[in-house]
Chains A and B, each alone.
Chain A
Amino acid sequence: MNLGPHAAFIIAAYAVALAVVISLIAWVLADHAAQRRLLADLEARGVSRRSDKAEAA
């Protein structure tokens, strides 16, 4: 495919868009893993929310 004399601008635009989209996906996944880890850690130490106790009862 011939992108013409301004190919560098087109490729740069798509490259930046791809980088930003991948960063957003990575951020959301990493944040989810971190929150799950913190919750598991707190639960392992015996901490639970009042609503969890009510649901368990």
Chain B
Amino acid sequence: MALIDLANPTRFLALTARILPWTATATAIAFAIGLYLVWSAPDDYQQGATVKIMFIHVPNAWLAMAVWAVMSIASIGTLVWRHPLADVAAKAAAPLGAAFTFLALLTGSLWGRPMWGTYWVWDARLTSVLVLFLMYLGVMALWRTVDDPSRAGRAAAILTLVGAINLPIIKFSVDWWNTLHQPASVFRPGGPTIDPSILTPLLVMALAFLLLFATLHLAAMRNEILRRRVRTMWLMQAHAAS
């Protein structure tokens, strides 16, 4: 099957039906291995056992930004190439990105209270991630506001691309401003500063959450294609009745 064939929603549905059991199984295996490594990992010499929160906080924080990046690429597909699946992909990703961002904020808050002495500070990293969460809600609200999916798709694509400006702000906020949040310790020049005994479970958990996103995104795209079929058939029925 050529890549261009995926532009056909019917072929995409057939492909999704074949892929989903495999991605779901891979997700379950990755989580099983990841959680085993998490509970076998040593405590941090300064933070003690609270470092275990990092294994869910950091993957969700990475995904919060990665999902918006996926939506931005899909938005270019909508606006430039008018790819039939591009706005389906963007719309299906938004609630997932919102959930991952919510988890990053909440687990960060639960980690911050014992480590920083507070659930929340208005520093650049935390505030820019909160803005990302609000942008997810804004895009989801926009999709619900406009009835016609293609018009809603173009409007949401513009909003998504404007919102992508926030991604480098989130990434470099800890370098550009004096923040309570620590600087990058994995993706940084010079390599990770985390000991392999903690880095390995972190990367396995990140892979597990990435597979979870891939599985849920494919399933949500399939649902969106079916929703559009239902809408088309309702319109045909209404047209035939009038």
CA distance A2 to B114 in the complex (A): 16
Which among B39, B48, B111, B240 is the interface contact of A4 at CB below 8 angstroms? Answer: B48
Asked if A6 and B49 make an inter-chain contact with CB atoms under 8 angstroms apart, the answer reads yes
B33 to chain A, nearest CB (A): 16
For the complex formed, measure the closest distance between the CB of B41 and the CB atoms of chain A, giving whole angstroms.
11
Known: A1-B39, A16-B106, A21-B212. A28 touches B233 (CB 8 A): no
Tell me the interface secondary structure of chain B in the complex: helix
Q: Which one of B102, B110, B227, B240 contacts A35 once the chains associate, using CB atoms below 8 Å?
A: B227
Cβ B222 vs Cβ A17 within 8 A: no
Q: Which residues in B have their C-beta under 8 angstroms from that of A29?
A: 219
B216 partner, pick from A24, A48, A49, beta carbons under 8 A: A24
Least CB distance, B102 to chain A, in whole angstroms: 7
| B53 near A9: Cβ-Cβ < 8 Å | yes
* A17 adjacent to B236 (CB under 8 Å): no
List residues of chain B with CB within 8 A of the CB of A21: 212
Given the complex, which residues of B lie within 8 Å of A42, measured CB to CB?
Answer: 230, 233-234, 237
Residues on B with C-beta less than 8 A from A25 are 216
B99-143 vs A, CB cutoff 8 Å, 1 = contact: the mask equals: 100110011001101100000000000000000000000000000
Of the candidates B114, B223, B232, B237, which one forms a contact with A28 in the assembled complex, judged by CB atoms under 8 Å apart? B223
CB of A9 within 8 A of CB of B230, answer no
Tell me how far the C-beta of A19 lies from the nearest C-beta in chain B, rounded to whole angstroms: 10
Q: What is the minimal beta-carbon distance from A26 to any residue of chain B, in angstroms?
A: 11
Asked whether, in the complex, the Cβ of A9 is within 8 Å of the Cβ of B96, the reply is: no
Cβ–Cβ contact B50 & A6, under 8 A: yes
Does B226 belong to the interface (CB within 8 Å)? yes
Closest 6 CB pairs of A and B: A35-B226, A6-B114, A4-B49, A13-B107, A13-B110, A28-B219
Q: Could you write out 8 A-B pairs with CB less than 8 Å apart?
A: A2-B49, A4-B48, A9-B113, A10-B52, A13-B106, A14-B56, A17-B107, A35-B229
Interface residues of A (CB under 8 A from B): 1-7, 9-10, 12-14, 16-17, 20-21, 23-25, 27-29, 31-32, 35-36, 38-39, 42, 45, 47-49, 51
B residues bordering A, Cβ < 8 Å?
10, 39, 43, 48-50, 52-53, 56-57, 60, 95-96, 99, 102-103, 106-107, 110-111, 113-114, 212, 216, 219-220, 222-223, 226-227, 229-230, 232-234, 236-237, 240
